[in-house]
A = this chain, B = another copy of it.
Amino acid sequence: MEIKKSNFSEWYNTITKDAELCDLRYGIKGFVVFRPWSVMTMNKMYSMMEREVEKRGHVPALFPALIPESYFTKESDHVEGFVPECMWVTRAGSHELDEKYAMRPTSETAMYTMYSLWIHGAKDLPLKIYQRCQVWRHETKATKPFIRSREFYWIEAHDCFATEKDAMAQVREDMEMSEEVIHQKYGIPFLFFQRPQWDKFPGAVNTFAADTLMPDGRTLQLPSTHMLGQNFSKAFDIKYTDENGKDEYVWQTCYGPAISRIYAALIAMHGDDKGLVLPFKLAPLQIVIVPIFRDDTKEKVLSECKKLEKKLSKDFTVKIDDSDNTPGFKYNHWEMRGVPIRLEFGPRDIESGQVVLVRRDEKGKNPVKLTELKKAIEKSAEEMLANMLKKADEWFASRLSKASTMDELGKQLKESEGFVRIPFCTDQMEAEGCADIVKDKWSANVRGSLFGDKEKPKGEKCVGCGKEAKIYLYAARQY
C-alpha cells in the first residue's frame, strides 16, 4: 500500500522535509523558510509564467509592500474581506506611526490609487500591469507549507479596459494562460469554476477559480481571475475620457497565480513514495551521473564521468554524485529530490560507448549510445512530461462524479474522492444557506458552476432546499 495514497498528509510532511524543500522551525507561526531545492523550481515556474504574462501584453511594475489603512476603506466589500487578516505596521524605530500600514494581503488598493493618476484617455487603455511579489495574510486556518502559509509568493496582474466586453475577454485570456502553463507545462489538471456569489473575491462582480485536487480528494484553489466590473474604478475614481469627451469608469480584472501554492500541487500531483517527481524543465538538477566503480576502476570511471558531465552541461543542468555513498544510497537520494534523469556509468559502459539512462517516472534501465545521448535525453524529457500529464489527467477525470440528492452526494464524496456535480437552486446570495447545509452534513464546500458548462437540470431538486434546481454546481472537500 502506498503511503501517498493511504496517508497523504504524512507523505506530504515527510517529503517537504526529506527533500529539503522548506523548514518549519522559523520563529514566527505560519512563516516558512523556503529552501533552495523548492526555490530553484519556483524560480523556473516564475520565469515561465512571467514570460506568458508579458507575451500577452502585461508589463511589470513594483508597488510598495505597505498599504496605508486609508486606502483599504475605499471599497467596502474589500475592506471587510481582507482587513481581518491584515498584519499591521504601527511603529518605526522607537516611535508610533501616525497612520498604520497594512502589509499587502493583495494589491488592488495600492495599485488602483495610482491607476487613477495614470489613466486619462482611451489611449491609456488597456492598461495591463503585473507584479511579482509576496503577500501576507494572517490566516486563522491551519497552515501547511506551500499550501497555506501567512506569507506566500505570487504574481498579480491588474488590468483596466474601456469596455465590459474587453474585460471579459481578459478573464478568458487568463484562463487560457492558466491552461497553457499550469496544465500543459507543469502537468497539473484543474477545472475553472465560477464561484457562487457568496464565495467570490471581496469586491469582485464574479470570480473564476482554477481548482485542482490533492491525492486525498480535497480540492485546492490555484489561480483565480476576477471580473471586477466597475466596483473598484468607482471606489478609486479611475476614469477615462471617451471619444465623445465623456468621462467613463474603466472596467477591471485581476489575476493571481500563487507560485508557492502551485508548487504544492506539483509536489502532490506527481510525487510518489520514493519522493518528488519533477518535469524536466522545472527540475533544479535535470541529470545526475552516478559513477559505478570498484577501487581499481575508480580513477578511470570518474575521469570519464567528468568528460560526460562537461559535455552535457552545455545543454542541461547536470552533476556527478562522486560522494562516498553507495550507488543505491545515491539512487534513493536523487529520487527523493525528483531528479528526472539518472545516468549510471561504469567500466563496461565505458568500454561499449554507452550509458544507462533511468527515468524518474518509470522503472526501466535503458542503455543509450553516448553518440545518441543528447537526443535520448531530450526525447525522455518530452515523454516524461507527456506521461506525467496523462497519468494526472486520467486520475483527475476519475475523481469527477454526479449526485442528485444529499445522500448520493455523501456517497460520491466518499467513493470518488473529488468533485461531485449537484443540482442547486441558484448560485446567487440567497442560496448560501443551501451551501451551509452541504457543509454541515458532509464537510464539503460548494465550489461553483463549471465555466462554459451549458447543461441545466431538468426536473431535479436542489440538494439543499429541495426547491426546483436551476443550475449544476460542484462540491468537494477543500483545503
Question: Which residues of A are in contact with B by a Cβ distance under 8 Å?
Answer: 23, 25-28, 31-36, 39-40, 43, 59-66, 68, 70-71, 83-94, 100-101, 103, 110, 113-114, 117-118, 129, 134, 136, 138, 151, 153
B70 near A27 (CB under 8 angstroms)? yes
Q: Which of B33, B39, B65, B93 contacts A86 (CB 8 A)?
A: B93
Query: A71: nearest residue on chain B (CB-CB)?
Result: B27
Docked Cα-Cα span, A411 to B199, in Å, equals 70
Cross-chain pairs A/B with CB under 8 angstroms, 18 sampled: A23-B114, A25-B117, A27-B68, A27-B113, A28-B66, A28-B101, A31-B66, A39-B59, A39-B60, A64-B151, A66-B136, A85-B93, A87-B92, A88-B92, A89-B89, A90-B90, A90-B91, A93-B138
Residues of B within 8 A of A129 (CB): 36
Residues of B within 8 A of A134 (CB): 62, 65
B64 near A32 (CB under 8 angstroms)? yes
Residues of B within 8 A of A91 (CB): 87-88, 90, 100
A26 near B114 (CB under 8 angstroms)? yes
A36 near B59 (CB under 8 angstroms)? yes
Query: A88: nearest residue on chain B (CB-CB)?
Result: B91
Docked Cα-Cα span, A159 to B296, in Å, equals 37
Docked Cα-Cα span, A39 to B62, in Å, equals 7
Residues of B within 8 A of A26 (CB): 63-64, 110, 113-114
Q: Which of B25, B27, B62, B92 contacts A33 (CB 8 A)?
A: B62
Question: Top 8 closest A-B pairs, CB basis?
Answer: A36-B59, A92-B138, A88-B91, A34-B62, A31-B64, A27-B68, A39-B60, A90-B90
Docked Cα-Cα span, A91 to B136, in Å, equals 13
Chain B: minimal CB distance from A386 (Å): 28
Query: A138: nearest residue on chain B (CB-CB)?
Result: B92
Docked Cα-Cα span, A117 to B25, in Å, equals 9
Chain B: minimal CB distance from A75 (Å): 16
Residues of B within 8 A of A61 (CB): 33-36, 39
Query: A129: nearest residue on chain B (CB-CB)?
Result: B36
Query: A134: nearest residue on chain B (CB-CB)?
Result: B65
Chain B: minimal CB distance from A11 (Å): 23
Q: Say yes or no: A33-B64 contact (C-beta < 8 A), given A27-B113, A84-B94, A114-B23.
A: yes
Residues of B within 8 A of A36 (CB): 59-61, 129
Further contacts, 7 of them, CB under 8 A, given A26-B64, A92-B138? A27-B68, A27-B113, A28-B101, A65-B151, A84-B94, A86-B92, A88-B89
Residues of B within 8 A of A100 (CB): 91
Chain B: minimal CB distance from A52 (Å): 15
Docked Cα-Cα span, A93 to B30, in Å, equals 15
Q: Which of B33, B43, B94, B151 contacts A114 (CB 8 A)?
A: B33
Docked Cα-Cα span, A134 to B36, in Å, equals 18
Chain B: minimal CB distance from A123 (Å): 8
Residues of B within 8 A of A28 (CB): 64, 66, 68, 101
Docked Cα-Cα span, A90 to B91, in Å, equals 8
A84 near B93 (CB under 8 angstroms)? yes
Chain B: minimal CB distance from A317 (Å): 10
Q: Say yes or no: A87-B89 contact (C-beta < 8 A), given A34-B61, A62-B153, A64-B31.
A: yes
Residues of B within 8 A of A85 (CB): 92-93
Chain B: minimal CB distance from A416 (Å): 37
Docked Cα-Cα span, A33 to B67, in Å, equals 12
Docked Cα-Cα span, A64 to B65, in Å, equals 13
Residues of B within 8 A of A93 (CB): 83-86, 138
Residues of B within 8 A of A138 (CB): 92-93
Docked Cα-Cα span, A71 to B70, in Å, equals 32
